Structure 1
Amino acid sequence: MALKRTNVYAEDSYLDLIKEAAARLGVAEAEIIREGIHRIALAHRVWGEPFVSDDETFDFGGPMGKGEIRTAMIRAYAGQERHGQGDAV
């Protein structure tokens, strides 16, 4: 991957945090900055197509409340525990 030089203005407090992290991790400050740029660029990426299609979604018959979601998760977890018994080696 080819790297390009650029100038970025940052607050002193952020630069201090970067300096501390780089020293703690034993890497260059530039590496911390590159990782931050990479993470934020991916976080704001716009995908050309939806993550799932309409055919891959679930229809629960309407909006579900917190209680219904909680009950479904508890039932699913309890079922998973029953099925998983004795599988550990």
Structure 2
Amino acid sequence: MEYQYPIDYHWTTDEIVDVIKFYEAIERAYEKGIDRDELMTIYRRFKEIVPSKAEEKTICGEFEEISGYSSYKTITKAKNASPGEKILIK
């Protein structure tokens, strides 16, 4: 990983850690796969920190621009998957 995650400096340390866990979960979905339920738990926490759709779109767009990994595509696949299914983006 040769990039910095997009973060908001108004977030608390715990919130920053949880948002970074979200980015790492998206990376895992692309690199080796992640359990759908784990991903959705991490995503729900992310949405507590970033409740606005507009802010989510901005932050996730920045993340996709620097990493090449689409949060939108990953979460959409997870929402349509069965509980316990592994999410792997190709």
Q: Which structure has more strand as a fraction of its residues?
A: 2
TM-score normalised to structure 2 length = 0.25
Q: Which structure has more helix as a fraction of its residues?
A: 2
Structure with larger RCO (C-alpha < 8 A, sep 6+)? 2
Specify the structure having the higher radius of gyration (Cα). Answer: 1
TM-score normalised to structure 1 length = 0.25
